[in-house]
Amino acid sequence: MLIGEVARHSGVSTRMLRHYDALGLVRPTGRTVGGYREYSAEDVRRIFHVESLRSLGLSLKQIGRALQDPAFTPSALVGDLIRWTEDRLRREQELLERLRAVDASEPTGWQDVLRIVELMQGLNSTSPARRQQAVLARPEGVPVPAELLAQAVLSESDPHVAGALRWALARSDGDSVAALAAGMTSEDVGVRRRAVLAIAGMADTPGATAVLADALGDPDPAVRGQAALALGRRGVTAAVPTLVGMVAEGSHDVDAAEVLGTLSQDPGCADRIRTALVGQLAASTADSATRIRLTQALVELPGDTALAVLRQLAHDDDRVVALVASAFVGVLGKRSS
């Protein structure tokens, strides 16, 4: 077949076929009397081999080696191609995210686009100070998509930068809670901790309560604890078991006890909290430190809710617990007189 016919059948342009010939990749077997390239069936098959390897991302030089060297093994090259492709996809995904962030900001002019790009570049800096400055130096009135800030919050490990990002996110346009909620399903516990901390800081935002309530079932105690504290401060009694557990474990136990005290302003909830604390006391008979924390938490309950329990603890077998309970009985007695 002549070069034009080969081009029609193979879909490879005549220009590329001439290029293959010049490189020695696919040289036509013969020539016509007039000097035109004439391809055999084997030549056409080789063209399809070249195109197949090009579709995998191989360069023409690599294809030539693969077709000409009988000792060539593809495994190492294919592994390299996989790594190069993964790297390219990561770069393209980053570009896609930047474009979506710009689009979400609904820019009215190129100045708005440039400001968003500048912010993204600042947030990607390796310097924590530069990242913090990028957040705090943002001009007033320039809309920043919540998705962009939420992504930065979920990946930020520096506590000072993270605080600035949470502050900016709470004041950004868009659904901040929805933007952060994706982080609550991450397999990375660090991402979930950052997400729940940010959502806890905007607990009055619509949708936050539902996300925090789901977080009470998280396998990580730090995630559960942040969710429970935020929910308890909003009067959500579903947080009570987690808060009592925090007191027993000594994890932010002072904060947890204070929130339990606030929740116990509701008489019905006060009985529930007292029962939970007493249950923990009964389960911790050999752990003096735990029982002291639980005893201290009882004092946060209003009125005489915990007085009877404290009087019993004043005769506890553990002398330290008994002394602490006796002291609190005296304090509560003066408070009620």
Q: According to the CATH classification, is domain 3-72 in 1.25.40.420?
A: no
pLDDT the model gives residue 226: 96
pLDDT the model gives residue 333: 67
pLDDT the model gives residue 49: 87
pLDDT the model gives residue 272: 92
Q: CA 300 to CA 259: how far, in whole Å?
A: 9
Which has the higher per-residue pLDDT, 292 or 83? 292
Show the tokens assigned to 251.
């994890």
Please determine, for residue 80, whether its predicted confidence score (pLDDT) is greater than 90. no
Q: CA 142 to CA 108: how far, in whole Å?
A: 11
Q: CA 101 to CA 323: how far, in whole Å?
A: 60
pLDDT the model gives residue 255: 96
Helix and strand element counts for the chain (H, E) = 19, 2
pLDDT the model gives residue 103: 77
145 touches 174 (CB < 8 A): yes
Please determine, for residue 193, whether its predicted confidence score (pLDDT) is greater than 90. yes
pLDDT the model gives residue 335: 61
Q: What is the DSSP letter of 301?
A: S
Domain boundaries, the chain: 3-72, 90-215, 235-337
For 140-164, the pLDDT digits (tens) are 666 677 888 888 999 999 999 999 9
pLDDT category of residue 36 using cuts at 50, 70 and 90: confident
Q: Give me the phi and psi of 241, to 5 degrees please.
A: -60, -40
pLDDT the model gives residue 89: 85
pLDDT category of residue 15 using cuts at 50, 70 and 90: very high
| Residue whose pair of structure tokens reads 């996989």 in the numeric block | 82
pLDDT the model gives residue 334: 65
Please determine, for residue 206, whether its predicted confidence score (pLDDT) is greater than 90. no
Other CB atoms closer than 10 Å to residue 180's CB: what's the count? 29
Residues written for the chain: 337
pLDDT the model gives residue 194: 95
Show the tokens assigned to 334.
């003066």
| Residue whose pair of structure tokens reads 């962030």 in the numeric block | 101
Please determine, for residue 76, whether its predicted confidence score (pLDDT) is greater than 70. no
- Measured between alpha carbons, how far is residue 143 from residues 121, 146, 147 in Å? 16, 9, 12
> What average pLDDT score do residues 244-251 get?
94
Highest average pLDDT, of 60-69, 84-93, 123-132, 230-239, comes from: 230-239
